[in-house]
Amino acid sequence: MNHSPGLGAYLRAEFLRSYRSFSFYLPLIILAVGLLAGVLNLSGATVSDSLAPLHIYPVGIIVPLALASAALADRRERTLRGGGLRWRRCRPGLELYARLLVVSGYAVLGHVLAAVPVVGFTMPVLVFTAVESVVFVASYALGVALCRSLPAGSWGLIASLVLGLAMSVAAPLTTEPAVDAGTWFWQPWTWPLIPTLPTFAIHANSVLALPGEAVLDYPVVAPLVLYLALGVGCAVVSVWATSPARGSAGSRLLGGQAPSRNHSSDLVRDRLPTQTRRSFVRAMSVALPWRVWVFLAVIMCLLLVLVRVVWGPTVSSTMWALGALPIAATITGITAWTTHGAAWPALSYRRSRRMLLPVTTAVAACFTAAAVVAGGVCAGAGPYQLIVAPAGTAMIVAVTFLLASVSVGTSLAVSLIVLVWSLVSCSFPLGSWLGWSGLWAWVFRMGDYPQFWVLAGGCATLLTAVAMAATAPSYRLRA
């Protein structure tokens, strides 16, 4: 007698599969944001007895974090072949429903832990948990649909990261004008932020709202319902994308039909250099995702030119230094590791293994620095910003490469938190330690503090060397 497992079995299976994954550590990541907000509140950087110190989480972290969590979970399932579940008589709808429930549990726990250090065990904790948990789950469903709609490989992870950071940049700029004009219904990227403004009593630019201001009367339920409906629609699309009617599960997980042995050897033979002379650069460059990098670099330059024409060089240079540069360097560092990560155990037995890491990092950093400088020229950046940009880019590439060698999820989480903190640190003078603590914003600060360009460039170069040296033991231990 065939017995179809119920939701409880799917929940138990999903919890076991998520153990020690990126989703499993979501409460700790969100707690780190809450502790950071508590430190800022105690230090006087933000003085408030409400949820306002946590503003960096809904403004710049929650949507990218949820999208990255979905992308990493999808990457895990592709790598592990779904744990064998795709070849069993399982229902895709219940499987996705169980995953959303497990992830929402992690998110709820993290939101409670983040709010308690700021406001204690009070009613705002429940409000914060309810609002942000709905936003997180809906964003997670959006990320799942995005990843399952794209080809296998790094496209889902890259697209989720770019979309999340783009929404985090666009929402603060357009939310209040959209609500005032009554056009927010047609701007989905504003839906996650609108309910948080009256809940946190802040403006979209993180300035505290005074009593009687219009932002305190913004709708809360309507945008939440719309965003939740968007998440439900994305979940339906995700279930349809993995339905048995669309092909075999194995071919979907592997991104298409697996090549035959002869075809695989032909591909390898065609990509091998024909010359016998050894070249570290050519050997380590052949597997890098050049097409993805070039495509993203061209898109970056075109967007910066468009922003410069529409809003002027001030806005475009700011978007370049605080958005395009760290995002491009983070993507390059992570994808440079993922393309070689599985091969490091074998490569570490080579006699020339000590050259592999510096060459890989140098190739990735050089390409990214060239693309970033080109983007800075398109954006109209200042001369000292362009001078420090290569060193700052190399620093981010090396650090993200180091973190990715430990865990791709760790690299994404740390990079996101450092980026948001760098945005916050721009409000402090560069002469203070808080100003220098925003590492990802050093290039941007050179526009206002050009006298520090030698110090910033030297420190970035030093951190690059330290990160490269710290990564070497990491891949040797993997052998």
Asked whether the beta carbons of 106 and 132 are under 8 A apart, the reply is: no
**Residue that wins the pLDDT comparison between 63 and 173:** 63
Q: From CA 345, how far away is CA 361, in angstroms rounded?
A: 17
Q: Where would I find the H helices in 80-181?
A: 92-119, 123-148, 155-181
> Which among 126, 112, 153 has a CA at the least distance from the CA of 26?
112
Q: What percent of the chain has pLDDT over 70?
A: 78
**Structure confidence at residue 325 (pLDDT):** 92
Using one digit for the tens of pLDDT, what is the confidence trace for 163-185?
Answer: 887 788 778 878 888 888 888 88
Q: What is the mean pLDDT of the chain?
A: 78
**Structure confidence at residue 211 (pLDDT):** 82
pTM for the predicted model, two decimal places: 0.72
**Structure confidence at residue 253 (pLDDT):** 42
Q: Cα angle at 406 between 401 and 412, to 5 degrees?
A: 60
Using one digit for the tens of pLDDT, what is the confidence trace for 70-124?
Answer: 888 887 777 665 555 555 666 767 778 888 888 889 989 988 888 877 777 777 7
Q: From CA 443, how far away is CA 450, in angstroms rounded?
A: 10
pLDDT at 251 exceeding the cut of 60: no
pLDDT at 41 exceeding the cut of 70: no
**Structure confidence at residue 256 (pLDDT):** 42
Q: From CA 285, how far away is CA 359, in angstroms rounded?
A: 9
Tell me the residue type at 107: A
Instruction: Label residue 276 by pLDDT band (50, 70, 90).
Output: very low
**Structure confidence at residue 89 (pLDDT):** 64
**Structure confidence at residue 428 (pLDDT):** 79
**Structure confidence at residue 35 (pLDDT):** 76
**Residue that wins the pLDDT comparison between 179 and 471:** 179
Q: Could you write out the three-class secondary structure of 366-427? A: HHHHHHHHHHHHHHCCCHHHHHHHHHHHHHHHHHHHHHHHHCHHHHHHHHHHHHHHHHHHCC
Q: For the chain, what's the residue count?
A: 479
**Structure confidence at residue 349 (pLDDT):** 62
pLDDT at 39 exceeding the cut of 80: no
Asked whether the beta carbons of 190 and 174 are under 8 A apart, the reply is: yes
**Structure confidence at residue 372 (pLDDT):** 94
Distance of CA 139 to the CA centre of its chain: 13
Mean pLDDT computed over 243-266: 44
**Residue that wins the pLDDT comparison between 287 and 216:** 216
pLDDT at 262 exceeding the cut of 80: no
Helix/strand/coil for 91: coil
**Structure confidence at residue 296 (pLDDT):** 87
**Residue that wins the pLDDT comparison between 424 and 254:** 424
**Structure confidence at residue 384 (pLDDT):** 92
Mean pLDDT computed over 120-141: 86
Buried b (16+ CB within 10 A) or exposed e, 32-63: bbbebbbebbeeeebebebbbbbbbbbbbbbb
Mean pLDDT computed over 202-211: 77
Helix axes 155-181, 290-311, angle to 10 degrees: 20
Tell me the residue type at 4: S
**Structure confidence at residue 212 (pLDDT):** 81
Instruction: Label residue 159 by pLDDT band (50, 70, 90).
Output: confident
**Structure confidence at residue 342 (pLDDT):** 65
**Structure confidence at residue 301 (pLDDT):** 92
**Residue that wins the pLDDT comparison between 318 and 427:** 318
Structure token pair of residue 161: 């990261």
Using one digit for the tens of pLDDT, what is the confidence trace for 327-346?
Answer: 899 889 888 888 876 666 66
Instruction: Label residue 243 by pLDDT band (50, 70, 90).
Output: low
**Residue that wins the pLDDT comparison between 429 and 390:** 390
